[in-house]
Every structure is written in C-alpha cells, then in structure tokens.
Structure 1
C-alpha cells in the first residue's frame, strides 16, 4: 500500500505562511478532506489549486471515515486540512488519522502554522515546559472547575478562547490563578490587527474592558505556571553553602556542608559549584551595568 494521508498545516492569517511543500502536496493528492470546504476553497483559489474538496468535520467525521479509508486503500493520496493552522490542534481529524494508522496507512505531516506555538514563541513566558489545554468549557461553573485543576501546575499553560467568552474566561482565570499571574495575550496572529502583549491577568481584564476591539478575532492565552514551592531543605543547604563559601574553597565548603547537613557530598559539591557560578554571573552583570 503506497497511498498516504497527508496532514497539512495551512496559514492562520497571512497567506505567505503557506509552505511550498504544502502547496505541492495539495496539488498532487486525489482529494482534500477539509473542515469547511467553503473556507478552504478560498485558500485553494489563491494558490491555483484545483484538487477536489470533501468535507470532514466534527459532525460528519464518523460517517466519512470509511469512505476516505477506502480511497486510501485503493491507492489514492488524501490531504487533511482544517480551516487554519495545524489539523487536530483543537480541530477535527483525530479520528481519521487514528483510523489510517489502524489500517496500516502511512500518515505524513506537512508542518506549518500553529497558533498555539506562534503565541508561545512570542509572548516571553517560559517555553521549556508547556501544556496545551485547548478551549475551556463555555459555562463558568465548569470552567472554574477546570481551572482549579490546573492552578498548581508549574508549566506554562496555553488556551484558545472565543471572542465572546474572552472577558469572562480571563476574569475566571484571575479569580483562580490570582490577579498577579503573568499572561501572554495573542490575538489575530499574522493578521492586520495582530496584538501580542504580556501582562498580569488583572491588567488583561482591565485592557479587555477598556478596549472592546480586544474581544474580536482569534485569541490565544499563554498563562505562566504556578510558582514552585521553596524546598526548605534546599534553602537551608544554600544558606549553609553560601556562608561557607565566603571562607572556604568549593571542595572544602561542600565537604563541611555535607557533614553538617547529612546530604551526600556529591549533591553539596554540585550545588556549591552552581552557587559560585551564580555569584560570578551577578558580579559580571553589576560590572556591565
């Protein structure tokens, strides 16, 4: 079986973000399975793509899977697209991809735009660990319950939100996460009225209330993670090492700290090296300023 299901990312606003590979794939396949054929036809016309479209969305995915899998088994390549961005990321397509995998059909990603990653890359919040949470429940009571489950998570959290719910959602976030929690607000990414700001949740509530335009368009919220609780044992070790390093070498200070605290010498030595490096960096920063 040589046919493939291509999962093709499309622009989230600026059409120049369409990749050359994505255009070629959409031109070469037998059919394009689209979330909304009316939306996708505009994109195809722009790039002179005449490949036939068929609908594949939340309401009909179960019904069209067998038909699409049948075509793939007959050797026809198919491309899957959503209205904008990467399919399956809060968009339809998961059931089709899973079915293709179960039938031994090769699934090939064609990477491109994704609003969640674009927002994360530009708002200035930690990106080493993050969790994509998609859309929160529409009802406030359910939304608050979901936020309560997430309030102690230390990784960055990424949400999509609808314009008509953005103010209520941000208010709920401020209530649960705390008004001072940092938030990245990314609206209409790559479009004419692109807005990317970083502030506190309280400040974002105020901004949205003052400026009704902030309740329009596609919105991504990037929430800073909860502050990690201070490890008291680690704090005591740091205090002990900091004092010992004022008079002793790293080796001697870490040996004495290990004897006094009961931690392993290897751990004390590694932490002593880190504290020494931090002290040297602080001195360098002060000298540069």
Structure 2
C-alpha cells in the first residue's frame, strides 16, 4: 500500500467504523485486513467514491464478524465490556466522536442487534446517507430508516443523559483517583453517587465481579481493597475521555467513569488482559 492509496488515506476512519461496530480493536483490525484484500482485488476504475465504497466494504465485513461474536459473547465469563483504547486528548475535541467511542456508549451498542448497530453507527456517527447504508446492510432504504429510528430510540433510552465538560470530567476523575490512592471508604463514597453502578470485566482471566455492583458503600468497600503497595495509578485518555490506568505487579487494568452532577454515576473497570494490549500507543480515530 502506498500513502496515496485511498485505503491508507481513510484507514483511521475505517478502523473507527469497525471498532464502533465490534467493540474490539483486535476484531476491527481483522476486519480491516479482510477489507484490504477485497479492495486490492477491485478494479479501481469502476469505483467513483473510494471512501464510500470502503466504508460499505468494512461494514459488510464487520457485520459478518459481529454475527459470529454475538454468539460467542453469550458464553463470556462475567460481564463483557468493550476493549479500551488509549487515545490522544484531541479526540475529545470532536464531542460527537468522543461520545460515540466512549465505553458507556459502546456498552449500550452491545444491546443492539448486528444490523441495528451497523445502521446506528453509520447514520448517527458518520452521517452516511440511507441509500448507502441500505447497500451496505442489504436492506431497502425505507427499511433502513425504520431500523435507524428504532435503534436511535433504543440507545436514547439507555445512554447516560448528562453530558459534562472535559474540565468537569477531569476534576471528578482527579478526586476519584485521590480517594482511590488513600483507600478510605468515606472519601470514595463522597465522590460517587449513592446509586453508583460498577461493571467489571475480567473475562475469567483476572479477578473481577461477575455481576454489576450497585451502591456507593458496596463499590467503595470493594475499591478500598486495592493493594496500594503494589499498585500504580495514573490518569490517561481512554476512548476520548479522561480515565485511569492501574498497574498492579505489572498487570494493567483500566477504569472509565460516567459523571453527572459532580459525582461518579457509573464505573467501567477492565482487567481482561486480552483486552488491554493497546494502552501504550494512542490509536488514531476519525470520522
């Protein structure tokens, strides 16, 4: 591939489409590889709009992969969370992109069916015309409009309703990390909403609660047990938002927060080592 090849020029966009559909960077990379092989075999003279053509190709491949993953995730040990990605702070400058790749949003997208998810991502995030989406998912444009409306309503009913500024998110994260470093239950409870929910993903490979934990006292009690003598906690940017990385005896874990009214309302903790391989180099996301 050369630098002027459309696949190279749009790679960040194509990766973002695949990642938002799959919630897994590893699977997104596989989809890009499959899509590249198809692109390499295409007569480019017949492709009038390479960007749209490539988005449709990636969507089809991601749909095929998603149908397989949906079945395998039913047997997943404990709670399944999207794979967190280290991103640069400038991803947050595009508020809609940052929201669409947040752990909270990707978790909501997991509750959609494969076609619904593809339609939602292409329409709501990337503003792809209905006719092009219809071609990508094998439906009529009228059917795609109906699917888009259902998916939009489904997501709206489940996603966090409060959008906070970057500065507020960072301030709450700093308070949360300060309390986490002390391990004091009361300090932890003070930074969390009374009805906070914590979802942890260990995938059966790392210690993690297998069901969501609810309530500030319960969550704070669990977090107070983190071995501070063996842990190092640092603020990082994950999926376009301020978050935390916790290294314990060389084993990483990540924590992403949902914030409302100056307190943490939801905590997503990822400890599955297979999902924590992209924490050292920022991933380029685009739309």
TM-score by length of 2: 0.29
TM-score by length of 1: 0.29
Which one has the largest radius of gyration?
Answer: 1
